[in-house]
Structure 1
């Protein structure tokens, strides 16, 4: 069956007979989700520059923020499809690069040479100086992990239609979070002061388990948000069911 213009070339008719449905991005809801997703990623990049030790657990200061970006990615992928999710990923990627460039300019600008000015400059360099390296780690990890997460979720939806949402969320999250965590930790570990292999393994394992666990715990919340979005998106389910997502 031919694919309609502006849609992903993924089959949308589920084996169960229940068609996979998606919405266009004509309403304001997508813009709100995209803005929140970008802010969460930018803030988590800043927080990730600080190493955090909670007893035997080694993590970073962005640990409580980053899972939210994946939850938002799940919502966008489920409601709008892979092509729109990919647009959100690349837009968030570009905004994070822009934020990192702004940090670099702010640090490079000449400041006051009194005691207060030099103290503030040192604080900015200490807080935002490592961020470009963290951003590199985060962006590469985010790009790979979110793309895998979204692609798997939409492929599973193409097979199951509107059924088994929990399986799509959990299955895609495990794969996406693992790739994301491994890439991020491999690049970011030296920046935040992780030098030995045992601590690095701790960092990777704790990061993966924590992010995945948070997503699993918040599955009911993700369900509610997705259900709310589907009911309020005027175009949800009105597109031809022979396609898997709409670019908008």
Structure 2
């Protein structure tokens, strides 16, 4: 079936949209739960010891899936997924706070370890949720607009370009909001870490470009669509059809 151009505002049934959305939300939550709290290091041949937050390995994959959602299904469909991810993050933060705050049983001796793993600093949680929301919407908007400008060609320029801007917004919001003014975090250190993480995330996106091409091509063939957001309302708060 040849792909037919359409706008993302047109409701229709998709075969794989729910699976892509589930993958998006799953990776988003797991990268925040499992990777966010660990600082790792690797010994690189030339650069020497490199220290980084473990979450940077997997969180950018949510941006890759966000690109796939916008490219295949359009901005309106991606908007639904971003709000789903936002709601999931808020609930996860609330659930973690409640469970950690519950008094442990007298004979249960793992409270300290549980707090170390799932205990959250409210400022960092707030910064993470706000940065995700803003960064993902900017990423999807740039991706959709660039698809129109490029007439659907040069997918790599859209995936890397949108991630460059979206992750830039994410980093510019998260690190100052989470760490500026905190003991041990000078303004210079906040800027260095933000720029370093931004570069790593964009580089990770670029490295995954062949995977993005393969997944986008497969989904477009299976869904039989080619979406252009020519008539889309790009407000994050607009009601999505379908």
TM range (shorter): 0.7 to 0.9
Structure 1, unpaired ranges of 5+: 1-17
- What's the TM-score once normalised by structure 2's chain length? 0.82
Of stretches 222-231 and 133-142 in structure 1, the one that deviates more from structure 2 is 133-142
- Within a 5 Å distance, the mapping from 1:41-190 to structure 2 comes to 41-46=28-33, 47-54=35-42, 57-114=50-107, 117-118=108-109, 120-130=110-120, 132-189=122-179
Which has the larger displacement, 86-95 or 33-42? 33-42
SS in 1 for 2:185: coil
**Deviation of residue 29 (structure 1)?**
1.3
Deviation readout 1:106-142 (Å, 9 max, x if unpaired): 112232223xx23x11111111112644332221111
Q: What RMSD, in angstroms, separates the aligned Cα atoms of the two structures?
A: 2.8
Partners of 1:146 and 1:230 lie apart in 2 by 22
Distance change >3 Å, CA 191–CA 226, structure 1 → 2 = farther
Q: What TM-score comes out, normalization by structure 1 length?
A: 0.80
| Cα distance, 1:124–1:193 mapped onto 2, change above 3 Å | farther
- Alignment partner for residue 34 of structure 1, among 15, 21, 24? 21
SS in 2 for 1:59: strand
* Structure 2 Cα separation of the partners of residues 92 and 191 of structure 1: 29
Q: Which has the higher contact order (CA 8 A, sep 6+)?
A: 1
Which shows bigger deviation, 197-206 or 223-232?
Answer: 197-206
Q: What's the secondary structure of 1:69's corresponding residue?
A: helix
| Contact 2:15–2:223 (Cα < 8 Å) also in 1 | no
**Structure 2: gaps (5+ residues):** 43-47, 234-239
Q: Is the 8 A contact 2:70 2:143 kept in 1?
A: yes
Counterpart CA distance in 1 for 2:228 and 2:191 is: 47
Alpha-carbon separation, structure 2, partners of 1:240 and 1:222? 18
